[in-house]
Amino acid sequence: MSNSRFLLRAVLLVVGVNALTTLALAQATQEAAAPMQLPNGWTAEDMQAMMSAATPGEMHKHLAGDVGTWTCKTQMWMMPGGEPVSSGGTSKVTPLLDGRFIMCEMKGEMPGMGPFNGLGIYGFDNVSQKFVANWLDNMGTGIMNGTGELSADGKTLTWEFTGNCPITKKPMVMREVETVTGPNTKTLEMFGPDPKTGKEFKMMEIQLTRE
């Protein structure tokens, strides 16, 4: 076989392989772009509802505005009218799951009780149209669950958390108010029931400044 024939066959072989590869890629792209087969009885509207529920929106962007490391100055009241106890700490907020949630890791010192470590997961439920959260820390063994609503001006997020009172052994509701006071400052106030009277009082206030 002459060199020219050998070269011609080699060229044809390369062209053929490239053509087959291009055809296979085009077919795979078409298959990937094809709509997913709906389960029996489902409509396109059902699938759209599922997709809308899973897609982050403006309220998730609002939560993402808290991402960063914050310095905390805390005051706590053990009883109505009592003297506050002061402490300090940090709060680190990071995004989770492609912006659908944020995680808050809080560290500090609980006067008379030692180091404090808390962890919260915050999100916005597109279905219920409410902010949602879970909170747990090393000062208890329960998990508090909360829902929140944002004010019209976007500066105040009011939460209602439910948990169990260790003294009364009954469910209790705690109210938490987050107020934006500047681009890198905000205030967090927590209100809860006095276990002896059941009346709400201010239990904690945290001044937060982003580093």
Q: How confident is the model over 69-111, as pLDDT tens digits?
A: 999 999 999 999 999 999 999 999 999 999 999 999 999 988 8
pTM score of the predicted model:
0.81
CA distance 195 to 185: 32
Q: Where are the domains of the chain?
A: 3-54, 58-210
CA distance 209 to 189: 15
Is pLDDT above 70 for 190? yes
So what's the pLDDT on residue 8? 36
CATH architecture of 58-210: Beta Barrel (2.40)
So what's the pLDDT on residue 102? 98
DSSP string, 65-132: TT-EEEEEEEEE-SSTTPPPEEEEEEEEEEEETTTTEEEEEEEEEETTTEEEEEEEEEEEETTTTEEE
Q: Using one digit for the tens of pLDDT, what is the confidence trace for 98-155?
A: 999 999 999 998 888 899 999 999 999 999 999 999 999 999 999 999 999 999 999 9
pLDDT band, very low/low/confident/very high, at 39 (cuts 50, 70, 90): confident
Residue of 153, 164, 168 lying closest to 62 (CA atoms):
153
